[in-house]
A and B are shown apart, each in its own frame.
Chain A
């Protein structure tokens, strides 16, 4: 079955630095990917998405990169702020009915 994993379970960065969170996926049929942010005690919130026909997509302070060759996804956060501290999940779907989530990376932003 599908598996979605993260390289680093915890990431600590200095406020103002850029953050990079990585994700690996195993299903080559997946054609849509999402990054979610989950703050303590809350449900996941959508950050940014990317389709398999793209390799880069930018949002406000966030960029998602997709490398289909090695089945790798990354989330880049520019000028990381204390409010960015949360757990970040990547999710993939091959059919839009089911989304498969990674185990999450906890981002700690040090003031």
Chain B
């Protein structure tokens, strides 16, 4: 049981380049999230999804897009990377029980992204 898997683990981009981060979970979780973590700050929610085919904006959605075409996958895209997007990105998932989220978030190991 792999849990939440993120790829790639590291990436360096030049300003203006695009890329997609992949998150996959094998726990049949309904809810998936993308967070970014910057030095000295807590995790900030970028986008989230409450089910296949649905996405919603979090606290800091600008400059990012997401897609949830399959229940087990949640993609985070950067169309035109900027140095301000240098960060560590974490994907997480959780499973709602009876309409209420099973509150424990399960996190991936993170992706270190540097934009030069």
Contacts and interface: CB of A to CB of B under 8 A. Distances in A.
A99 B40 contact: no
A102 B31 CA distance: 21
Contacts of A103: 40-42
Interface residues of B, number: 28
A43 B90 contact: yes
Contacts of A34: 103-105
Contacts of B41: 103
A96 B100 contact: yes
Contacts of B101: 96-97
Contacts of B40: 9, 103
Contacts of A43: 4, 90, 92, 107-110
Interface string B18-40: 00000000000001010100001
Interface range, A side = 20 to 34
A42 B109 CA distance: 5
Given A43-B110, A44-B90, A97-B50, A102 B105 contact: no
Interface of B: 4, 31, 33, 35, 40-45, 48, 50, 56, 58-59, 90, 92, 96, 100-101, 103-110
